[in-house]
Amino acid sequence: MLKVINVVGARPNFMKVAPIIEAMKRRKQEFTPLLVHTGQHYDADMSDAFFRDLDLPEPDIHLGVGSAPREAQLAAVEERFEPVIVREKPDWVIVVGDVNSTLACARAANKLGVRVAHVEAGLRSYDSSMPEEANRVETDRIADLLFTPSADAGENLLAEGIPSERIRFVGNIMIDSLKKHLERARQSQIKGKLGLSNNDYAVLTLHRPANVDDPKAFQRILDALEQISRRLPIVFPAHPRTRKNISRFDLSERLKSLSGLRLIEPLGYLDFLSLYSGARLVLTDSGGIQEETTVLGIPCLTLRENTERPITVTLGTNRIVGTNGAMIVTEAFVALDREPIPAIDIPLWDGHTAERILAAL
């Protein structure tokens, strides 16, 4: 019997941990899972919606860390997680993704001699300005088992000198959640509520500091969106950070003037999946959406200068456009004029990654 602490800290983690806990509960004779929520994302309403949509159990332990600058948040999570490890004495701590909680909990477990498994290991943007990149690299150095989503991630780890016996190619855990919940998501009423009677719309997500903390970058993106929104409506579930900067940079009136841009509140997992899975185009600076749109065959424009998921470009539907307004518009119109893309089959993005993780553990 293996006692395993599964760590979540922010919404992108929830979709990655849910299939693992579900798989462990199917194997009760072999695994005792515990769920620890660090509280790095502290919006209770949004967290509750994601837990409900993903059939995640209530966290066994909530650390309640809340918002703070990166180093302070890392220290707070580590300090609060250490007593949990001492009390629970787990065989493994599983961390997922690349948020601050991922690194902090890996550090705490490593310090106390508990084995660490990192799900979504080996992803690299090679952009040292991204805090997520620092989190990924250090977590991978610490982890005893590194679960990679794609072949290129394993190659990155080997190039960094990580022994091959610590690396396991298991596939993409995000796709486990996508495949399980897609049909349920299609029953959502969100498109009707937004007055979207067909698939002739785009979806936008925007939250990274390089885009929304920089008024010039934000303005360039808005200029491009203005042109695209004349062609089809763009639905924009706005992240709290983004909304804050819209006010801070006095962009509210500018956004109101864009009749084709629909600014809405953030959505739960099923409503959001329903929305973007039916879109003709997705524009994003997120990571996981690049993968999900590839599997669904939906054209995706990534509003960044790089991606830690290059397989979505080489094999998938993703295009890296940065914040160059002309490039964003050109690539958007190319995507909209292209014939529909069939769903894409990438090795081990098959909905069975959680089972492979448990077999390795």
Segment 90-105, tens digit of pLDDT: 999 999 999 999 999 9
CATH code: domain of residue 43: 3.40.50.2000
Residue 54 lies in a domain: yes
- Same domain? For 166 and 203 the reply is no
Any domain includes 178: no
pLDDT at 199: 86
Of 37, 118, 207, 239, which is the active-site residue?
Answer: 207
- Do 125 and 193 lie in one domain? The reply is no
The reply to whether 163 and 250 lie within a common domain is: no
Beta bridge partners of 96: 119
Looking at the fold, whether 166 and 200 belong to one and the same domain comes out as no
Q: Which of 72-81, 102-111, 239-248, 277-286 has the weakest average pLDDT?
A: 239-248
177 belongs to a structural domain: no
* 342 within some domain: no
CA distances from 324 to 187, 278, 287 (A): 37, 26, 19
Domain contains 264: yes
- 354: containing domain: 2-172+348-360
The answer to whether residue 162 sits within a structural domain is yes
Q: Are residues 31 and 121 in the same domain?
A: yes
Percent pLDDT > 90 in the chain is: 84
Do 126 and 230 fall within a single domain?
no
Say if residue 10 is in the same domain as residue 134.
yes
Q: Is residue 323 part of a domain?
A: yes
Number of domains in the chain: 2
Q: Which residue has the tokens 């799900």?
A: 119
**Where residue 168 falls among pLDDT bands split at 50, 70, 90?**
very high
Band (pLDDT 50/70/90 cuts) for residue 43 is low
Cβ burial of 167 (10 Å; 0-12, 13-18, 19+) is buried
Same domain, 6 and 155: yes
The verdict on 135 and 57 lying in the same domain is: yes
Q: How far apart are CA 81 and CA 101, in angstroms?
A: 10
**What single-letter amino acid sits at 177?**
S
Q: pTM value?
A: 0.95
Specify the residue for token string 């462990």: 24
Catalytic residue list contains 352: no
Question: Within this chain, do residues 157 and 213 fall inside the same structural domain, yes or no?
Answer: no
Assess whether 162 and 189 both reside in one domain. no
pLDDT digits (tens, 9 = 90+) for 112-145: 999 999 999 999 999 999 999 999 999 999 999 9
CA pair distance 329, 249, nearest whole angstrom: 23
Asked whether residue 133 falls in the same domain as residue 31, the answer is yes
pLDDT digits (tens, 9 = 90+) for 247-304: 899 888 888 889 899 999 999 999 999 999 999 999 999 999 999 999 999 999 999 9
